[in-house]
Structure 1
Amino acid sequence: MRTYAIGDIHGQLALLQAAHARIAADQAAHGPGPVVHIGDLVDRGPDSPGVIEHLMQGIARGEDWVVLKGNHDRMFAGYLRDLAWHDPRLRVDASYLHPKIGGVQTLASYGVKNAGDRPLAPVHGEAVAAVPRAHRDFLETLPTSFARGAVFYAHAGIRPGVPLERQTEDDLCWIRDGFLEDRRDHGPLIVHGHTHLAAVTHYGNRLNLDSGAAYGGPLSAVVIEGRTAFLLTDQGRQLLPVTPNAPIR
């Protein structure tokens, strides 16, 4: 059972298109398989609307793509829904327009300039007017997990010890503490992003795909067969070794 997966995108359309090209080359050589996008489509990068539009168009033309909700996608959708909304997993002194979140860059990519330096209400009104309803609906309806074969996909990870069918959206989109350091087998291999590393890392019980595209790193694509994973490069497949004692972040 072959499944492809792509890490946190963060508005990097060119990197996403390159990742899809590497997947297409592998599919031509080895056969088809669905492509799971692990979430965080938006924020920090230069072209969040281009990323959303690219994914929407691919799904519309019949591509076998799954797009999961990341915490940044949830924050963006919530911000557009209600200026007063605050993600319960975001620290109380931060907001979607906090410099570390990257929402200012997302709004700029939709044409809303200098969002971090102007009064909140006018900026919000401009953002609601600028973001197409189709993009908002797409973000609002993204699933938070996907299971296939021996693998479970979620943006941030899972709450260990909680059955997969009872995982909460808060944890699936945001969890770090309690998950990253847990070395136990979770049943299926957990494939996630959310916590950026220098390179994709296979810990045995989980596989972290976030290689820091939001910070100038690569956007990684992998193919998973059973619990074995290969990084896709321009030269082909590269086996990802299992390194259970690798640094967790």
Structure 2
Amino acid sequence: MRIYAIGDIHGHILELKATHARIKADMERVGDTSAKIVHVGDYTDRGPASREVIEYLMHGMAHGEPWICLRGNHDRLFTRFVRDMTAFDDNMPPELSFLNPRIGGNTTLASYGVTTVDYEFEAAFEAAQKAVPKEHLEFIEGLPLYYEWDKYLFVHAGVKPGVPLEEQSEEDLIWIRKGWLDYEGDLPWIVVHGHTAVNLPSHFGNRIDIDTGAGYGWPVTAIVIEGDTQEVVTDTGRAPLTKADPKNPAPFVKRTKPTQ
């Protein structure tokens, strides 16, 4: 049994397709083209092609691809703005709106042909209501928040330690960092997540972080899991995961500013 997982995408359709191509090549090498692929969320914002990413995922799933797509915090920011003009979230710095380039909603709406100016919410909202297909919103809103497989839990951000899965809040599953990233205790699973960018896909013992900073100019990452073995899927085969120290994680180095 094996399963693949893909980290944060952030509107980078070419990176997503290249990642799927690497996975396909790996599947062909091992003679198994039916393994599931879990996408841990954040399909939108910052990159230039959020619409294309959503359409690509929708098309693949509609045509029987064994893909699982989880919902991330940026995906929820997008749907909330288009649904009811919610431009802020309590989990973000209060001065940053969905349209701020640091968040990246401006580029998401631009992929639908909507030009925005930060804090001019009504104009952006009215244009987005006309431009964004309701099927895209319904697709995102219908995505699950987690997926369990064997002894692994796939989720966008992480979990609140000590809380049963069925009692985890949506806020924690898509936003959590505090009390999670520095947690070294046992968990019922090894948690595979994104949300917090790392320089390399990293194994912290009780969790595996696969967000390698696509929102900041770095590649989209895929890993493959077979039992107790987890490896990175590369252009030339497989590579070991970086073993990381939760007490002293390497600081993330941004290669570029978010796409504006």
Q: Secondary structure at the match of 2:95?
A: coil
| AA at the equivalent of 2:249 | P
Shift of 1:174: 0.1
Give the gaps of 5 or more residues in structure 1.
Answer: none
Q: Secondary structure at the match of 1:116?
A: coil
Q: Identify the residue that residue 168 of structure 1 maps to in structure 2.
A: 169
Which of 84, 87, 94 aligns to 2:96? It is 94
| Partners of 2:87 and 2:98 within 8 A in 1 | no
CA distance in structure 1 between the partners assigned to 2:86 and 2:48 by the alignment? 26
Q: Secondary structure at the match of 1:57?
A: helix
CA distance in structure 1 between the partners assigned to 2:174 and 2:125 by the alignment? 24
Larger deviation: 35-44 or 162-171?
A: 162-171
Q: Identify the residue that residue 9 of structure 1 maps to in structure 2.
A: 9
Q: Secondary structure at the match of 1:204?
A: coil
CA distance in structure 2 between the partners assigned to 1:237 and 1:225 by the alignment? 12
Q: Identify the residue that residue 178 of structure 1 maps to in structure 2.
A: 179
Equivalent residues in 2 for 1:1-249 (5 A)?
1-30=1-30, 31=32, 32-84=34-86, 86-113=88-115, 115-116=116-117, 119-245=120-246, 247=249, 249=251
- Matched residue count: 248
Shift of 1:85: 6.0
| Partners of 1:157 and 1:171 within 8 A in 2 | yes
| Partners of 2:35 and 2:66 within 8 A in 1 | yes
Shift of 1:4: 0.2
Deviations 1:6-43 (A, max 9, x none): 00000000000000011111111222310000100000
Which ranges of 4 or more aligned residues in structure 1 deviate by more than 4 Å?
none
Matched residues, percent identical?
47
| Partners of 1:151 and 1:227 within 8 A in 2 | no
| Partners of 1:78 and 1:87 within 8 A in 2 | no
Larger deviation: 184-193 or 173-182?
A: 184-193
CA distance in structure 2 between the partners assigned to 1:141 and 1:87 by the alignment? 20
Deviations 1:60-88 (A, max 9, x none): 11000000010000100111111146433
CA distance in structure 2 between the partners assigned to 1:26 and 1:192 by the alignment? 21
**Cα RMSD for the two superposed structures:** 1.5
| Partners of 1:146 and 1:152 within 8 A in 2 | yes
TM-score, length of structure 1 as denominator length: 0.95
| AA at the equivalent of 1:2 | R
| Partners of 1:155 and 1:173 within 8 A in 2 | yes
